[in-house]
Every structure is written in structure tokens, then in C-alpha cells.
Structure 1
């Protein structure tokens, strides 16, 4: 019993340390995302993403990067945009960008894994988006896309459907600055902030707990055997192929998979393999089942094939590019262990952003936020702004 309690304590200590390190960047990222979403009308986004051109893909990438980092909400929002007129390729690009190119993900990766991984995330994300755009433009026929649109228009609900359907952007004023200064802006920002946290909190908590357990309980020799660490060449070849499969069965998405990526890196996974694992947040089993609901079985299988292939290719590109430029990290020192807490800049930023979070939560709950949270996973309720 003492042995079991000691191991549980080690896992919880590792999880707690990781939570302490990533608290403030999550709060900051969600706040900035809420500000952007409060001044950008969603119907305007749908109209902008109606074709599959390069410019549209770039716009979809930028809009996605400014939106939600919750994989479930991103998938539901992409379906909503597709139903309202966005092209399928643009909806998929928006979805990828909103989970892989968001600010909070980059900051968390920088803190836990290092700046090289953050740079690789954005480089690889751009490569993946380019491959996905080409694949859905040239390899998926118009008839299949039309069948998927018919299925999407049926309104079959998935996880976070209510969240995706609630457009709480402010419509007062002609410019974003005028909308941001309007009396309704603060309330809209508070609602979006609270709902973003509500959408990802489960995945972040699960990711931290799983990462803490793996860090404390799984010997590095197991990861080294799985990813062929003793052979750098074969590790680089096999890593991007295996890592997404680990991600698919991990059931952890969004920012929640970054601590697990740190465990894999410390355990011996290749640089490209770690990046492929992070990219796989949109292929976990629950989300595959949502694709099936939204677009039908045939399109779900196409999404699985296209996403898996592009994740692997993007990981290989990142692996090669960083090796050639000498940017691949030499040390396996991801900060996913139980290092303990201390009065550092992290603590002060946690306190400052925590205070901002409290202010926003109070504002939201005083203006109907509690009711919105209850409807996030189902039918939406209108925001009263």
C-alpha cells in the first residue's frame, strides 16, 4: 500500500508541476482569442472561405489561429462554416489551424519542450495545411464533398455543438476597434473566455494526469524500444508513423497533449515523431466518430487518410529541415517532471492571469454565463451580449 501511495504521489506531483507551468499561458491565450472572436463576425468568416484558392487557405489559417484551441469545438465550428458556405478544404484548414497554430499552444510548448518545438509546430502546421489543401482540392471528388455537405446540413449534433453555434461577436460599430470599445464587448469577451475554458478543461486535466502517470510509472526503456531510439535513422523513419497512432488512442486533444509529447520526447521519440503526435489531436477516436456523424462514413475515412498522411509528411519535413539547419534539440529535457514550485516569474504570471480569469468568470456568470455553459454540448442559447 505504501508503494502504491508513493507512486500515486509521484504522478500527481508531476501533473501539478506541469499545471503550474502552463496555467498563465493558457489564460493569456484564451483571453486574446476571446478578444479576437468578440470582434470578428462568424457569418463574415463563412463568406470569406467559399473557395479553395491559396488566398482563401491563408485567410482560413489566420482565422483558425485566432479561434478556439479546443479540438471538439474546432471540429464543430468547421462543420458550421462548411454548412454556411465555406468550402470543405477551407473548413478543414480552419480546423487544423484552430488547434495547431493557436497562441496558447505555442507558449505551452515553449515552456515545456523548448522554443524549437514551438517553431516546429508552426512550420509543420503550415506544411500540413498546404498538403491538406492540395489533397482535398485534387484527390477528393466534388460528388463526395456534396454528399458530405448534405450530411452536414442535417444538423446531427456532436460534442461542443452548442459552443460552436454560439456566435457572441459584437455587432456594434463598423471597425474592430469600435466593436471592441462598445459596452457589450467586455461581456462578450468574458462569455467566450469562460466557454473556451469549459471546452478544454477536461482534456487539459486528462492530459496532465496521463502525462504525470506516464512520467512516473513508465520506464524510458519502453519508449526507447517502441521508437527505436538506439538507431537514430530508423527512429526518424518510424517515429512519425507510430506517434500519430499513439495520439489516436490517447483520447487527449488540444493543448492537453503537449505534456504527453514531453514524456515521449524524454523517453526517446524522434523530433519528428513528437511533432506528429502533437498534430494527431484531430484524429483521436471520439473525434473520428464525430466526423462520421457530421459527414458520413466515407468522408470520415477520407479525412482519416488525408490527415494521417499529411501529419506524417509534415513531420518528415520538419525532421529534415531542422536536422539540416542544426535546430534539432540535443537535450531531452522537457519539463514534465515533478520539479517543485517556487516564487518565480511563473508564479507571478499565474497570479496575475488568474486574477484576470476571476474577473472574467464573475462578469460572465453575472450575465448568463452559467446557462451558456450548460448548453455548450447541446442546443445553443442566444448570448445577450
Structure 2
């Protein structure tokens, strides 16, 4: 029956959400701490050119920032407008969604630790490939047009999230700044606003993954991913993985549950990596590129990001295959449709309590008004996530 099928899909999605809940709280908590103590002005100052060292700094700063793809795109434009090099801004954008802690933890939980390692090796590879492509193909005229478009005002609050700087002001040691009343308030605001910005993508990814796991037969995936042809499947996987990502509309952390389904379905190891890396060229984000930089730059970014994700997928496949690290079994955690009393449940209870403390702090320090400003369309919600955020909030 149709109702039974829907209930089955929802049960799988719900169990997957429960499986990764504590990891999400940990990841967003650590990200909030980094964003609360690292000032935006410092980031801009460090990203003024496209040298390898600068790109490494961009990747490191991006890894500690928002994991929301929409927020990452908006923040990259903000950095670009304030003087950051375009290549460095894009490196920051890639790292913001593909090198964040929460993504690695959830990959390990749902798909396997090998994919976490692959993500943190493949991310820098993608940034290097992207930088090389920019150096070889990015023309001064296109870059000038992109900057002119980026400097124009946009209707709505497209980059409210990007303009948000909740870092703690004042001096003192890292510990003193973090444990101050202002520090706790800053962390709570970043934490809740990040959740508010990402929940649509996360819920969408879980629902899509649950539906596909419940309704699409394994035979379809085996045929689609050419699992009967070992060599062809490795060639085909990284090429088609990003295409599936673009069509799924799911970005950032939300695509990990779907990656687990695709892995069980037979996509190659490199195909999973390329699929996850393509979160920055889903259709809604391509449209945002058009608004931010113009349609020519949007098409250019789509093509170069696709190529970089494919190349990274191939190189990671070769490296891990050569090292014997590609898993021989496909047992990603997507089939469990029940919640049981185990270590996951205990961790969820503990970290839900900690999240509750941050939420209460958020609400007691002006958070209600900020949440009210996050209504509207998905892209507006993402980028207006920090629209009401100020540089800092006094307790």
C-alpha cells in the first residue's frame, strides 16, 4: 500500500536522523566556537592573494566556518567584495562545506571512516585542481565582470548570513574570551543560526535518502552504476556522481544520507566523493552564482567546480585503491528503521541537553527576533539566517 511505503520511507529517514543527531550537535558546536573567536576582518586580511600558502589558510579557515552551502556561497561573495582574492574566496567556500568537522563525523557514522579520510584528502585536492583551472582559464575580463556584479546591491537579504560576524570583541586569551558571558552568547547565536540555516537541506536529504532507500530497487542502482563492469564503474562513478547531486537539490550535510544510499546501490568509491563535492553546484546555488557574479561567471563556476570534483573523485579512487583502503563491503547505515537503547541514544540525550543550554541562552539574548527574520524562501532563509546578527551581543 502507498501509506505503508510512505511510513517505511519516513521510518528510515527518522532512524538515520537519530543516528547522526549527536554528531551534528558536536560539529555545529565546534564550528560555533571557532566562529565566535575568529574575527571576520582577520579572515579577509589573510586572503588577499592566490598564493598556495594563502589557499591553505583559506582552506583552514573555511573548515572552521559554516557547513551550510548557501551561507558558504554568500560568505565567499562577502569576502571577495571586501578584498579577498577570488581563488582564495572559492577555496574558502569549498572548505566551508567539504572539510567541516560535522561532515566527517557523519560520513564515518553512516558510510565508513574511509570516506571521512577520503573527504579530508580529496577536499584539498579539489582546491588545488580548482586553483589550477582558474589560473589556466579565468580571464581578467570575466573576473572584472564578476567583481562589478558582486559590488552591486541585490534585492532582498541575500547575504545577510555572510554579513554576520558574531565573533567576540575584546582581548584576552582564547579560554577567557570563550568562557566569558559574551563568549557564551556568541557561541549560542552562531550555533542556533547555523541550525536554522541548514535544517531544510538536512531534512530534505534525509527524506530523499529514506524514499530512495525504501522505494528504489537495488537492481536499478546496479544497472545505473555499471556494477557489472568493475573498470567502467570506476570511470562512470565520478562523472555521474555530481550529476546526481545537482539533480537532487540537496547540499552540504544533507547529501551524506543520500551518499550512503548510493554507496549501497553500487556507485564507485570515487563516485561518492565526487557526489559529495558537488554540493556547491546544485541548481539553486547556480542561480545564486548568477545573481552574485552574473550568468557567465555562474556557468564558469559550474563547469570548473564539476571538473574539479570529478578529478578529485578519480584521484581519491586511485590513491585509496592503491593503498587497499576502498571498502570491500557495502554496508552503509540506511536500512535500520528503528531506534534502540544503545550508545547513540545515550550520546543524543547528553548532547541534546547541551544544545538545550545554548538554545535557552540564544532565546534569552534576543534570539526570538532573529528567528522571526528567517522566514521566507529557502535561499532567503539561508542567507538571512544571520541578518539580524551583530558583531557581538552583550549578556
- TM-score normalised per structure 2: 0.94
Give the 3-state SS of the residue equivalent to 2:341 in structure 1. coil
CA deviation after TM superposition for structure 1 residue 4, in Å = 1.2
CA distances 1:12-47 after superposition (whole Å, capped 9, x unpaired): 111011001100000000001001100111011011
Q: Is the 8 A contact 1:163 1:375 kept in 2?
A: no
CA deviation after TM superposition for structure 1 residue 161, in Å = 2.2
Q: For 2:320, which of 300, 322, 330 is the aligned residue?
A: 322
Say which is worse superposed, 363-372 or 31-40, in terms of deviation.
363-372
The equivalent residue for 2:103 is: 105
Q: For 1:75, which of 60, 73, 76 is the aligned residue?
A: 73
CA distance in 2, matches of 1:132, 1:365: 41
CA distance in 1, matches of 2:10, 2:238: 29
Give the 3-state SS of the residue equivalent to 2:13 in structure 1. helix
CA deviation after TM superposition for structure 1 residue 189, in Å = 0.4
CA distance in 1, matches of 2:132, 2:101: 25
Indicate whether 1:155 and 2:153 are aligned.
Answer: yes
Q: For 2:117, which of 106, 116, 119 is the aligned residue?
A: 119
CA distance in 1, matches of 2:202, 2:387: 24
The equivalent residue for 2:179 is: 181
CA distances 1:146-182 after superposition (whole Å, capped 9, x unpaired): 2111111113257862222111111111543342233
Q: For 1:167, which of 162, 165, 168 is the aligned residue?
A: 165
Q: Is the 8 A contact 1:73 1:160 kept in 2?
A: no
- Paired residues, what number? 383
1:19-58 alignment runs, 5 A limit: 19-58=17-56
The equivalent residue for 1:364 is: 362
Q: Is the 8 A contact 2:157 2:387 kept in 1?
A: no
Give the 3-state SS of the residue equivalent to 1:184 in structure 2. helix
Indicate whether 1:209 and 2:216 are aligned.
Answer: no
CA distance in 1, matches of 2:266, 2:235: 14
Q: For 2:387, which of 357, 361, 380 is the aligned residue?
A: 380
Unaligned runs of 5+ in 1: none
- TM-score normalised per structure 1: 0.97
Unaligned runs of 5+ in 2: 375-379
Give the 3-state SS of the residue equivalent to 2:388 in structure 1. coil
The equivalent residue for 1:353 is: 351
CA distance in 1, matches of 2:151, 2:344: 46
Q: Is the 8 A contact 2:246 2:282 kept in 1?
A: yes
Q: Is the 8 A contact 1:240 1:272 kept in 2?
A: yes
The equivalent residue for 1:136 is: 134
